[in-house]
Amino acid sequence: MVAFLRRHVAFLAFAVVMMGLPFFTSNTYYLSVLAFTATRLMTSLGLNLLMGQAGQISLGHAAFVGMGAYGSAILTTRFGMNPWLAMVVAAVVAAVVAGIIGIPTTKLKGHYLAMATLGFGEIVLILLIQVKSITKGTDGITGIPSLAIGNLVFTQYNPRAMHLLLWGVALLMLRMSLNLADSRVGRALKGLHRAEVAATSLGVDATFHKVQAFMISAVFASIAGSFTAHYVQYISPGSFTLTFSVLLVTGVVIGGLGSIWGAVWGTLVMMILPEYLKQYEDATNLVFGILVIVIMIFLPGGLVSLGSALGKLRTRVGGRDRRAADTSDPGSLEGNARRPGGAA
Amino acid sequence: MTFEQLLQYVASGLTNGSIYALTALGFTLIYNATDIINFAQGEFVMLGGLSAVSLHEAGAPLPVAFAGAVLTVTVVGILFELLAIRPLLRSGVLTQIIVTVGASLAFRTGALMIWGRDARPLPSFSGETPVRLLGATFNRQTIWVFGLTLVIVVALQLFYRRTLTGKAVRACSINPMAARLMGVSYSRVVLLSFAVSAAISAAGGVMITPASFMSYASGSLIGLKGFAAAILGGLGNPLGAVIGGLLLGIIEALSVGLLPGGSSGYKDGVAFLILVLVLFARPQGLMGGRIVDKA
């Protein structure tokens, strides 16, 4: 009950702060950074479900963001479809593709899974560039209409409304993720992640749940892509590269793999840190690359585990109980098949 | 397509294919020693090429620039192993993937800061005059690339089959526990594998730069194709890696020639299509790799 309350308090506090921000600043630049943070958070939450909860990896998630963005752009500019409907259609397409790709893919593990998803992402990117008759190639698609409800049009020139819309959706997805982690599905995914054979023997359908997680994460990514397309009103394939997929994974990892709040903090760090590194623009990704390595080595539980890691360190330094400090490492998700000296 | 054209496509395929083969071999060496797929492998290729460009621009003759670049990247590979891989040798697969992916991002961005965005050239190893053979014209660099690749492959084979150190490495990849009991230092084997892997990938990078230039961003694509080649041949099988690499190069080149309109834009997709198809249908590859954790 206490834990339940605490989670509610955390969510409510976060929701109030994020929804309240536009009423404290009217700086359009800050608000645009926050708008991109909201769409990134949508993708991160889906990816966290796949990686953190289900223990899978996707190095091709940019493809699903791209499908959402291009789906919305093509359906609205070419066929004059209502933007909201286009968003739903694109998300359904992304889900179907994720389902079709997911069945053979999620049977693969570890490096093979990473490579298969990466290959998928690259194929989608090449198609976005090459099928010029539909995607306009590297020129990209311009003139994507804005989202609107009645007379309320969500554009960059109406940043408060845009902010409330994007963060409203992002918070809804956060709420769904928190609920999902606590549900039967969430427990099944965690079971598959920690001990697949045990979970399967208890009646958890491994393929079904993994594909399901893959599809949900694809839908989150696709919706994020659609919102981005309508917000920026221009898209080009350069936004959906492998580097973007890697940065998406990085956000989830920096925050804390397996923790939903980790995905939130990781995303905030990923989106706000570059603003401070602007003067060294190119160095941003260098910082992220090194940050990921350092976190994996010294803080495998990510930023959210910083508190408990410091606590452990204190215990260790105090020398009260060395064994208590030696709890399992949340980073070692699936054991490497061959651990030298592992028999000791 | 005439026979001469076919020959020409095959030759250009062999040039790129040799580099894929060396990269695939680099993957294989590290994979066999550690079970880690090094997602930063392609960056070794890129660093090799760009280091050679800088050394050559600084006035070093080509052979010296070649050797210097290989040496530089070998040191990078060793440092990478010591700083990032060693602490994680016993971690989970996901952790290892993320670390090498993070490293590739760091290498790529570091290279962008050092060398900038532009693709850089290197002169051909022995002039630009093409060679005529069997009615087709061949680039001299093609012969260099293919020849040096063969030399490297044969030398590695001799090293791993004939020397004690090489045998120790192979023993470790078969059964690390037993190898350790026989007194083989596992950590040295891992270090050596990273050093050799970085060195041959860097050599590939230097050789391909005269033919197709090198930029900070070129490495990832070469690395990914190298991996596709390794999977195609059978991951963990060195001979498979070489054959997979050459085959992938030739298939790519022919796809440009055979696809309607000779569109080369789809060329890069061929490797990924092969990668995904092989992973789905026959993950042990053509030549049969080590056990695939698939079920």
pLDDT tens track for B251-263: 998 888 777 655 6
pLDDT tens track for B194-236: 999 999 999 999 999 998 889 998 898 899 999 999 989 988 8
Can you give the pLDDT at residue B290?
59
Q: Are B131 and B137 in contact (CB under 8 A)?
A: yes
What value does the mean pLDDT take over residues A86-110?
90
- List B132's β-bridge partners, or say none: B137
Q: Are A142 and A134 in contact (CB under 8 A)?
A: no
Does B269 score more than 90 pLDDT? no
CB contact under 8 A, B269 and A126: yes
Q: Are B97 and B84 in contact (CB under 8 A)?
A: no
What value does the mean pLDDT take over residues B266-272?
83
Q: Are A269 and A54 in contact (CB under 8 A)?
A: no
A154 or B261: which leads in pLDDT:
A154
Number of domains in chain A: 1
Can you give the pLDDT at residue A330?
42
Assign A1 a pLDDT band (cuts: 50, 70, 90). Answer: low
Does A226 score more than 90 pLDDT? yes
Can you give the pLDDT at residue A332?
40
Interface probe for A, chosen from B32, B39, B98 (most Cβ of A below 10 Å), is: B98
Does A344 score more than 70 pLDDT? no
Which H or E run contains A85? Answer: helix A83-105
B202 or A270: which leads in pLDDT:
B202
What value does the mean pLDDT take over residues A192-209?
79
CB contact under 8 A, A336 and B106: no
pLDDT tens track for A34-80: 999 999 999 999 999 888 887 888 999 999 999 999 999 999 999 98
With tokens 């060693």, the residue in question is B86
Q: Which two tokens stand for residue B167?
A: 């045998």
**B110 in contact with A at a CB cutoff of 8 Å?**
yes
pLDDT mean across residues, chain A? 83
Can you give the pLDDT at residue A44?
94
Q: How many CA atoms lie within 13 A of A290 on its CB side?
A: 8
What value does the mean pLDDT take over residues A119-123?
91
E-strand stretches of chain A: 141-142, 147-149, 152-154, 234-235
CB contact under 8 A, A285 and B106: yes
Residue B286 lies in a domain: no
What value does the mean pLDDT take over residues B112-135?
84
Contacts of A83 (CB under 8 A, 6+ apart): A72, A76, A145, A146, A147, A148, A226, A230
For A112-121, B144-153, B250-259, which range has the lowest pLDDT when averaged over its residues?
Answer: B250-259
For A271-285, B112-126, B239-253, which range has the lowest pLDDT when averaged over its residues?
Answer: A271-285
Assign B153 a pLDDT band (cuts: 50, 70, 90). Answer: very high
Q: Which residue, among B197, B214, B216, B204, has the nearest Cα to B110 in the 3D structure?
A: B216
Chain A CB contacts of B96 under 8 Å are: 336
Can you give the pLDDT at residue B283?
75
Among A282, A293, A333, select the one facing B94 at the smallest CB separation: A333
Residue B245 lies in a domain: yes
Does A328 score more than 70 pLDDT? no
Q: Which residue, among B254, B294, B244, has the nearest Cα to B11 in the 3D structure?
A: B254
Among B102, B103, B268, select the one facing A126 at the smallest CB separation: B268
Q: Which residue, among A108, A4, A286, A323, has the nearest Cα to B276 in the 3D structure?
A: A108
For A103-112, B137-146, B257-266, which range has the lowest pLDDT when averaged over its residues?
Answer: B257-266
With vertex at residue B144, the alpha carbon angle to CA B216 and CA B235, rounded to the nearest 5 degrees, is: 65
Does A279 score more than 90 pLDDT? no
Q: What is the DSSP string of chain B?
A: --HHHHHHHHHHHHHHHHHHHHHHHHHHHHHHHHS---TTHHHHHHHHHHHHHHHHHTT--HHHHHHHHHHHHHHHHHHHIIIIIGGGTTS-HHHHHHHHHHHHHHHHHHHHHHH-SS-B----BTBS--EEETTEEE-HHHHHHHHHHHHHHHHHHHHHHHSHHHHHHHHHHH-HHHHHHTT--HHHHHHHHHHHHHHHHHHHHHHHHHHH-B-TTHHHHHHHHHHHHHHHH-TT-HHHHHHHHHHHHHHHHHHHHHSGGG--TTHHHHHHHHHHHHHHH-TTTTTT-SPP---
Chain A CB contacts of B89 under 8 Å are: 336, 339-340
Residue B291 lies in a domain: no
Q: Are B87 and B99 in contact (CB under 8 A)?
A: no
With tokens 């190119």, the residue in question is A282
For A251-260, B127-136, B226-235, B254-263, which range has the lowest pLDDT when averaged over its residues?
Answer: B254-263
pLDDT tens track for A282-322: 788 888 888 888 888 888 888 888 877 777 777 766 654 44
Residue A219 lies in a domain: yes
Residue A278 lies in a domain: no
Distance from CA of A314 to the nearest CA of B (A): 22
Can you give the pLDDT at residue A340?
41
Among A59, A120, A246, select the one facing B276 at the smallest CB separation: A120
ipTM: 0.84
Q: Which two tokens stand for residue B287?
A: 């030549």
Residue A333 lies in a domain: no
Is residue A278 exposed (0-12), middle (13-18) or buried (19+ Cβ within 10 Å)? Answer: exposed
Print the domain residue range for B16. 3-281
Burial A309-322 (b: 16+ CB within 10 A, else e): beeeeeeeeeeeee
High-pLDDT (> 90) share of chain B, %: 43
Can you give the pLDDT at residue B68?
96
What value does the mean pLDDT take over residues A213-221?
94
DSSP state of A190: H
Number of domains in chain B: 1
B94 or A97: which leads in pLDDT:
A97
Residue A261 lies in a domain: no
Q: Which residue, among B168, B159, B228, B193, has the nearest Cα to B80 in the 3D structure?
A: B193
**CATH number, domain with residue B118:** 1.10.3470
**B60 in contact with A at a CB cutoff of 8 Å?**
no
Distance from CA of B40 to the nearest CA of A (A): 11
A-facing residues of B in 131-170 (CB < 8 A) are: none
pLDDT mean across residues, chain B? 87
Does A249 score more than 50 pLDDT? yes
Q: Are B66 and A274 in contact (CB under 8 A)?
A: no
Q: Nearest chain B Cα to A338, which residue?
A: B35
Name the packing angle between helices A206-232 and A61-79 (round to 10°). 50
Can you give the pLDDT at residue A341?
38
Chain B CB contacts of A122 under 8 Å are: 224, 268-269, 272
Residue A26 lies in a domain: yes
Q: Are A62 and A190 in contact (CB under 8 A)?
A: no
Name the packing angle between helices A110-130 and A242-255 (round to 10°). 140
pLDDT tens track for B68-84: 999 999 999 999 999 99
Residue B294 lies in a domain: no
Q: Which two tokens stand for residue A147?
A: 């989202």
Can you give the pLDDT at residue A317?
66
The one-letter code for the residue type at A285 is N
CB contact under 8 A, A338 and B176: yes
Among B90, B102, B228, select the one facing A336 at the smallest CB separation: B90
Assign B175 a pLDDT band (cuts: 50, 70, 90). Answer: confident
Q: Are A159 and A31 in contact (CB under 8 A)?
A: yes
How many cross-chain Cβ pairs, A to B, lie less than 8 Å apart?
182
Print the domain residue range for A207. 2-240
Residue A168 lies in a domain: yes
CB contact under 8 A, B94 and A342: no
